[in-house]
Structure 1
Amino acid sequence: MWRLYNVYEKIINMKSILLLVCGVFVLNFVPMSRLMAIQPEVMADSVKTVKLTGKVVDVETGEAIPLSTILVKELGWGSVCDTEGKFKIDVPVNRKATLTVRSVGYETREVDVAPGTISGLVVKLKKSLLNLDEVVITGTRTEKVISEAPVMTRVVSAEELQRNDYESMMDVLEYNIPGLRFNVDPRGNNIQIQGLENSYILILVDGERLSQTPGGPIDFERLSTSNIKRIEILKGAASALYGSSAMGMVVNIITDSPKRSLEGWAKVRYSKFNDLQLDAGIGLAHKGFFSQTLFRRNSTDGYDLTPETPQSYTMNPSHDMNIEEKVGWNNERTKVMASASFYWNEIKNPPKGESPTHYRSLNKTFRASLEHAFGEENKLYAVYYGDFYTRKTVYDLIDLADSTNATSHEQTVRLTDIYSPLKNVEIVGGVEWNWTRNYNKMQYGKEQTVRKVNDANVFVQVDWQILPELDLVGGFRYTHHSVFGDAYTPKVNLMYAPGSFKFRAGYSRGFKAPGLTELYSDFNMGSVSHNIGNPDLKPEYSNYVSVSAEYTYNGRLSASVEGYQNTIKDKINSFIIDVEDPAPGQLGAEMHYANVEAVRIRGVEGTLTYYPMKQLLLRGTYAYTDARDRETDLQLSGNAKHALNFTTTLRGKLLKRDGSVSLSGRWTSKKLSQSKSTETDDSGQEIEVIRERTKPAYSLWKLVAQYTPWQKKFMRLTLTGGIQNLFDYTDTKHYTTYDAGRRFFGSVIFRF
């Protein structure tokens, strides 16, 4: 702890030096006329204010826009409209005030209020098609309008989630992140993108990481799509902000909280294989206090792509249930929030299955956070987060009590300070502790069943708006890992935004400690192989560089292209060794882990979003990925070089009620798997031979129709119907996808 304190003290001193250097730079190199335009207006604490009342409405329909946010730029404080779009807010007496008005789905507007105005102000907002005023937090850990974020962030909005009625969170990610796929194996549902797997992709909920199952994957069935405010997707290394494992991609699922005195929903969704989803939530908000209760239950009969072996299914029958409670209180300067969730899941055997056991699991998640503003320049955040996963073995054929066979515990404590010494400078600094404790009855061998690691972190980031169109962000993290010692991960991002263009460039260093399975495993993975860990593994480091350009036109067209290179040093690879004479009880194959010298991943990603008319959306995303082992110059196993996602949505009125039709598709090129070996040719000379085993390209399509036959104020009834896997594609030969084929689905949701 004393060592950590010394490091933190050094960073505080460095922060002061950095501010001094920045000040000298500004005074000497930035023209004074430009500098004055971005300096804060200093106001005395004793400034006199008066209440201003008004209303926020839709510019086209004149209807009130409830729950819009109003910020007084000169004072730094704000307010929220009521359910009728009305607001009351303090503004300076006898001075001009500028209000910044925001609402989800509308363009942000700044309104000048003339001195002496105290009532009758009507603010008219225009609907935003491209959602460029959406607020994101993942790229900088601070709130940024997406069009002003120096780190390129892809957002999946709540509207997109509800309109497409996705089957699961896995369905959401596959249709919105080109090249991302889920592969099924004995460990569970495994993510793969750009040749990288689960451990390189950080999944967060409200900024906190989820615990993994004992095999490595995250159980995505525990996540509901009904209470999501938005999903933020960040490509590349983000270890400076999020620590170990944030090397390939960060997915941050932002949940919503109630804002009205009473609100909620109830949903039923049904599809093939007796898939049934029940989802409900109720919340209230009154005088700063809010409470929300969520309930979700899923069940399925499972499915089998190999009917010739009815003893085993591709996806086993299962049912699960999740209950969550969230409470909080906030006033102008303080916000307190606590939440707890309980997730229960049971995966059963097929009706003709012969296994004497099956699995049952329980997740318990707890979170408590405190946010307090010390004046207008300083905010302090404190959070505790714990995610506790337990898996039990259920004995079917003999009368034995359930046995806990594995647990995975993740805990985090973080203190974050956001300090704004100037209007155009924002500093984020903090300390973070992470604990991981895993118990496994079989995975770590016979002698030791518990493994622990922890890390202590100090991080700092400076966001400097040098000019209105030029933003510079720099930061770094110091990590002390209990097994691998010290690590340093810097980052820097720059955005230049002249007019309708935005140019971004960035560099970030990633750090990933080997997982407990890679270090200490000693078990048989089904009948596949004997997994043997390697305690001599070294941590992985990466250098990620990216450049991008973005263009928007007339609020209807947005086009972006990004190029990147991610170089990973000492990447951990698994490989199979055939055992000629296995010992009794051992398998004929062993899986080992080793560091490879370097992996280089290069790629280009382009996105085009276009509204030829307000009712019609066209969006396409293309990703090219070249992922190579630099030592052998072979493609990383399972990499697909090309991927394309496409969505078109037509919205309109039918019998004066809202309706929409969406068609979504995703195409993935052939998946590569290369190996190099030395053979002797006919002349007796040794030659290198590269063997390539590929899985064919494929595409999956989804059609969704949605209609709202009844709506009154905040109450609405919405009907959804659609076809998953429209063209009935399955692959029982290569298993390019484990999709079950064409299936119709329907849902009914009532919101109030």
Structure 2
Amino acid sequence: MSYSHAQEVKSEKKDSIKVEALDPVILSATRTPRQLSSLPLPVTLISKRQIKQTGTVRLNEILSEQTGLIMVPDESGFSGIQIQGIAADYVMVMIDGVPLVGRSAGNFDLSRLAVGNIKQIEVVKGPSSALYGSEALGGVINIITQAPKTEDPTGNASFRVGSFSQLDANFNIDQKFEKLGYGLFINRFSSEGYDLTPETVGQTVSPFENYTVNGRLYYNFNDNLKLFSSTRYYFQTQENGFESQDDFFEGDSEETEWNTHLRLNHNWTDNLRFEYEFYFTNYRATESSESPVTNNVLFNSDFNQYLIRPEVRSIYRFDDSGTLTGGFGYQYNELDRTFFDSRVNFNSQYVYAQWDVNLIDDLNMIVGARFDNHSEYSNQLSPKLALRYDISENFALKGSVGYGFKAPDFRQLYFDFTNSAVGYTVLGYNVAIDKLTELQDAGQIIDVVVPLAQFDDPLKAESSVGINIGAAFKNEKLTTEINLFRNDFKNLIDTQIIARKTNGQNVFSYRNFDEVYFTGIELDATYMWNDNLRISGGYQLLYAYDKTQLDRIDNNEIFTIDDSGRTVLVERSDYFGLVNRSRHTANLKVFYNLPKIKTDFNLRLIYRSKYGLFDTNGNIILDTFDNSFVDGFVTANLAATKQFGKHFDLQFGANNLLDYTDTNIPNINGIQLFTRLDYNF
């Protein structure tokens, strides 16, 4: 940022592309530093100060309090983030601009990310494949770690204890010399777990402990050549125990993650910078469970994924016509997993370009595109256009349209799994014909219910076109934004029955068929009552529908059983929409500071309206007559922090203050009290 910032300081003309030190700076939306207040894209910024005030210790906790972001668990128990109704499978999670891997069932487990050394969290909503490719179809979450700033060591050590024997310990230090800088972060997090269903054997969340170590190195060879290096290690162990088919099973699981990131920034001229980057990450999870009485093994699985990605970027700043960003790279992704016949891999090459320019004084435009050449599906071109017009100093209009895609994952292509307890089989698209033939030769198939010719063509990448249109207002006290969004998906990948087995169960595989859309409105507002009182709130209205099911309803093809037991036609007003989507979500946050006694308080209320979990009456859709709905609820989080002297902070808090629980929501336990002591140096 140094060369561009120097150029901006020299210029006397106000330019919305410029980076001013007093205004929060966003990197993820454009891959170049931009003022948050100048962006034409919908972006949420979570600052280090906000994280510390709330007392949150894991990434999932702080994200769940933001407008339009909902935590949703998958069948593995991991909770992923839903953005504008779009599932977690389609949201890319990054640290310092590079992606993380490890999605055994679709969701990325955000709870494995500690927040103790985070400078800020950036959430870009809507398709971002024009810059980031696959998995950025629904948006991007980028965690920016803290860089050293002073010659004296700065950092903190903290210890937090909470309900369910939850313990969190942090140590964070960074220091900057003339040429060399470093940062070190260590975290230990553990809990005895909790149980929402004491009438059954086993806990909802079993006891666990994990460790995170992150070391970062910064070296300036000279003013024009700078090196950044980061290595992160994560390790978790967790016990498990549960009952299945009148037998008790117990076991454990382990997760290990390595990330290594190297980046060399080279300023060729005052206007031209190159960034050379290399990234490697490995995620491994092993899990086993067996009966101590019968010695029956229920499962024994291994998940081992690698990602290697070199990339070269260039940023050229024209004197009068904006900034041109371009890059190219190579990505190699490999997975060795139980239920795969062999180790499988993808590789892809990509190139992208983006032009960020002020067409006139008050009109900013960002236009860009990315081309991906992938080994397992057809090539993808992902364009994007965004505009922002400043009508006045306080009021602006903005809009964006972009194309996003998600490549078929390893599971959808190569899975070979048979449930030993129930007897059904799930086959990946690329192995379906061969595995089905093996089952037929073994006499396990009664009939094949789909034409096998449908597997002749490759499984297509899922894609969407996303539109965001909004307005922003800002003065000394009030900041508010409104955003209307629409995301249309096609070639959505889902399971289908391809054959029936002699044991009465089915064989499933995958195919492209669904077309769905997500549309709604988001509103965010922050009011500075005075220097010590800040009030903010947000609201999202969401409609999420399957177009195929809407057509079936219009054609009078879907029936249901009403409350009196009669068979009736389903009307549009009866169709609730896609599962796990609430029509209304909202939040209200109050931050109050008492400077005379060096104490601050904050209260955060999070509301989610009712939503359905699955179809219960067998007509495929979620309608108002189904009985799998979770009623709307409010959670309340409270924290108070008192500063002692120059170095110590003592914090008390209560998460889920209203003690809300529901057995259908395993990621929300009862009230959690905590206290935390920080030593800042």
In structure 2, how many angstroms separate the alpha carbons of the residues matched to 1:339 and 1:225?
A: 16
In the alignment, residue 339 of structure 1 is paired with which amino acid?
S
**1:457 alignment partner in structure 2:** 350
In structure 2, how many angstroms separate the alpha carbons of the residues matched to 1:599 and 1:749?
A: 47
**2:285 alignment partner in structure 1:** 391
Which of 445, 459, 481 is the matching residue for 1:560? 481
The answer to whether residue 599 in structure 2 is matched with residue 708 in structure 1 is no
In structure 2, how many angstroms separate the alpha carbons of the residues matched to 1:612 and 1:422?
A: 41
- Relative distance call for 1:319 and 1:576 in structure 2 (3 A) is farther
In structure 2, how many angstroms separate the alpha carbons of the residues matched to 1:393 and 1:675?
A: 30
What secondary structure, in the 3-state scheme, does the structure 2 residue paired with 1:375 have?
coil
The answer to whether residue 493 in structure 2 is matched with residue 569 in structure 1 is no
After the TM superposition, which residues 95-494 of structure 1 pair with which residues of structure 2 at under 5 Å, given as runs?
108=20, 133-183=23-73, 185-186=75-76, 188-261=78-151, 262-310=153-201, 312-330=202-220, 331-350=222-241, 354-393=248-287, 405-442=302-339, 444=340, 448-494=341-387
Contact 2:136 2:405 in 1 (8 A): yes
Q: Measure how far apart 1:547 and its partner are.
A: 0.7
In structure 1, how many angstroms separate the alpha carbons of the residues matched to 2:2 and 2:275?
A: 23
- Relative distance call for 1:70 and 1:193 in structure 2 (3 A) is closer
Contact 1:213 1:389 in 2 (8 A): no
* CA deviation profile, 1:415-453 (whole Å, cap 9, x unmatched): 0000113244210011021111000122x2xxx131111
In structure 1, how many angstroms separate the alpha carbons of the residues matched to 2:13 and 2:260?
A: 38
In the alignment, residue 556 of structure 1 is paired with which amino acid?
K
The answer to whether residue 559 in structure 2 is matched with residue 666 in structure 1 is no
In structure 2, how many angstroms separate the alpha carbons of the residues matched to 1:200 and 1:405?
A: 24
The alignment's TM-score, normalised by the length of structure 2, stands at 0.84
In structure 2, how many angstroms separate the alpha carbons of the residues matched to 1:511 and 1:72?
A: 32
- Relative distance call for 1:704 and 1:580 in structure 2 (3 A) is same
Contact 2:71 2:79 in 1 (8 A): no
Contact 1:318 1:346 in 2 (8 A): yes
- Relative distance call for 1:357 and 1:590 in structure 2 (3 A) is farther
**1:744 alignment partner in structure 2:** 673
* CA deviation profile, 1:8-51 (whole Å, cap 9, x unmatched): xxxxxxxxxxxxxxxxxxxxxxxxxxxxxxxxxxxxxxxxxxxx
Which of 581, 586, 592 is the matching residue for 1:650? 592
What secondary structure, in the 3-state scheme, does the structure 2 residue paired with 1:518 have?
helix
In structure 2, how many angstroms separate the alpha carbons of the residues matched to 1:390 and 1:562?
A: 39
The answer to whether residue 628 in structure 2 is matched with residue 697 in structure 1 is no
Q: Measure how far apart 1:525 and its partner are.
A: 6.1
- Relative distance call for 1:165 and 1:289 in structure 2 (3 A) is same
In structure 2, how many angstroms separate the alpha carbons of the residues matched to 1:134 and 1:329?
A: 25
In structure 2, how many angstroms separate the alpha carbons of the residues matched to 1:492 and 1:213?
A: 30
Contact 1:214 1:407 in 2 (8 A): no
Q: Measure how far apart 1:76 and its partner are.
A: 2.6
What secondary structure, in the 3-state scheme, does the structure 2 residue paired with 1:667 have?
strand
Contact 1:454 1:482 in 2 (8 A): yes
Q: Measure how far apart 1:652 and its partner are.
A: 1.8
In structure 2, how many angstroms separate the alpha carbons of the residues matched to 1:71 and 1:651?
A: 38
- Relative distance call for 1:346 and 1:736 in structure 2 (3 A) is closer
- Relative distance call for 1:742 and 1:375 in structure 2 (3 A) is same
**1:729 alignment partner in structure 2:** 660
In structure 1, list runs of 5 or more residues that go unmatched. Answer: 1-68, 79-90, 92-96, 101-106, 110-127, 680-687
In structure 2, how many angstroms separate the alpha carbons of the residues matched to 1:174 and 1:271?
A: 19
**2:548 alignment partner in structure 1:** 631
What secondary structure, in the 3-state scheme, does the structure 1 residue paired with 2:62 have?
helix
In structure 2, how many angstroms separate the alpha carbons of the residues matched to 1:601 and 1:70?
A: 40
In structure 1, how many angstroms separate the alpha carbons of the residues matched to 2:30 and 2:481?
A: 20
- Relative distance call for 1:580 and 1:694 in structure 2 (3 A) is farther
In structure 1, how many angstroms separate the alpha carbons of the residues matched to 2:592 and 2:224?
A: 43
In structure 1, how many angstroms separate the alpha carbons of the residues matched to 2:24 and 2:581?
A: 33
In structure 1, how many angstroms separate the alpha carbons of the residues matched to 2:478 and 2:421?
A: 53
Contact 2:3 2:270 in 1 (8 A): no
* CA deviation profile, 1:501-552 (whole Å, cap 9, x unmatched): 1111111011111111122212146857643322343211111111110001
Q: Measure how far apart 1:194 and its partner are.
A: 4.3
The answer to whether residue 426 in structure 2 is matched with residue 531 in structure 1 is yes
Q: Measure how far apart 1:654 and its partner are.
A: 4.1
What secondary structure, in the 3-state scheme, does the structure 2 residue paired with 1:196 have?
coil
After the TM superposition, which residues 508-547 of structure 1 pair with which residues of structure 2 at under 5 Å, given as runs?
508-524=402-418, 530-535=425-430, 536=455, 537-547=459-469
Q: Measure how far apart 1:223 and its partner are.
A: 1.7
- Relative distance call for 1:625 and 1:467 in structure 2 (3 A) is same
Contact 2:325 2:354 in 1 (8 A): yes
In structure 2, how many angstroms separate the alpha carbons of the residues matched to 1:743 and 1:678?
A: 39
- Greater relative contact order structure (CA < 8 Å, 6+ sep): 2
Q: Measure how far apart 1:670 and its partner are.
A: 0.9
Q: Measure how far apart 1:170 and its partner are.
A: 0.8
Which of 550, 564, 572 is the matching residue for 2:472? 550
Q: Measure how far apart 1:288 and its partner are.
A: 2.2
In the alignment, residue 388 of structure 2 is paired with which amino acid?
M
Q: Measure how far apart 1:328 and its partner are.
A: 1.4
In structure 2, how many angstroms separate the alpha carbons of the residues matched to 1:154 and 1:482?
A: 34
In structure 2, how many angstroms separate the alpha carbons of the residues matched to 1:70 and 1:379?
A: 10
In structure 1, how many angstroms separate the alpha carbons of the residues matched to 2:415 and 2:521?
A: 37
Q: How high is the sequence identity, in percent, across the aligned residues?
A: 24
Q: Measure how far apart 1:351 and its partner are.
A: 10
In structure 2, how many angstroms separate the alpha carbons of the residues matched to 1:72 and 1:477?
A: 24
Q: Measure how far apart 1:281 and its partner are.
A: 1.5
Contact 2:69 2:81 in 1 (8 A): no
- Relative distance call for 1:376 and 1:411 in structure 2 (3 A) is same
Question: Over aligned residue pairs, what C-alpha RMSD do you find?
Answer: 3.0
* CA deviation profile, 1:335-355 (whole Å, cap 9, x unmatched): 101111211111112599943
In structure 1, how many angstroms separate the alpha carbons of the residues matched to 2:48 and 2:644?
A: 20
In structure 2, how many angstroms separate the alpha carbons of the residues matched to 1:702 and 1:504?
A: 33
In structure 2, list runs of 5 or more residues that go unmatched. Answer: 431-454, 551-574
What secondary structure, in the 3-state scheme, does the structure 2 residue paired with 1:349 have?
strand
The alignment's TM-score, normalised by the length of structure 1, stands at 0.76
Q: How many residues align?
A: 610
What secondary structure, in the 3-state scheme, does the structure 1 residue paired with 2:65 have?
helix
